[in-house]
Amino acid sequence: MADTGEGKKEEADYKRLHSFPLIRHTDMPEEMRVEAMELCVTACEKYATNNESAAKMIKETMDKKFGSSWHVVIGEGFGFEITHEVKNLLYMFFGGSLAVCVWKCS
């Protein structure tokens, strides 16, 4: 029982602690990075259950703000190899279980 209690506590802790956006890799300039990160957070929170919609929202907003063509991948587990334009890549984790990869390549 104690174990499970501790486990639950840990899980809660884990969820609480690991909810912040963690940028894993990016080569964006400062302003763009902040904006893109906030956008990803908003999208993932808005469409917590639908990665597709979140990705769509991120992509469209990025297209508007920084010109086409942006690509977005959101998921809990995936491997990828992409070609991106330099200074236009953001790979971040969010919410403890989501990985978001945003890049531009036209």
Binding site for other proteins (CB under 8 A): 17-18, 22, 24-25, 27, 75-86, 89, 91, 93, 96-99, 101, 103, 105
Grouping H, G, I as helix, E, B as strand and the rest as coil, residue 93 is strand
* Residues 6 or more apart whose Cβ sits within 8 Å of residue 105: 69, 71, 82, 83, 84, 85, 88
Q: In angstroms, rounded to a whole number, what is the distance separating the alpha carbons of residues 16 and 38? A: 18
Q: How far is the CB of 61 from other proteins (least distance, A)?
A: 21
Chain centroid, CA 99 distance in Å: 5
Q: How far is the CB of 1 from other proteins (least distance, A)?
A: 25
Q: How far is the CB of 104 from other proteins (least distance, A)?
A: 9
First to last CA, the chain: 55
Q: Which is nearer to other proteins, 38 or 80 (CB)?
A: 80
Q: Which is nearer to other proteins, 39 or 103 (CB)?
A: 103
Q: Which is nearer to other proteins, 47 or 93 (CB)?
A: 93
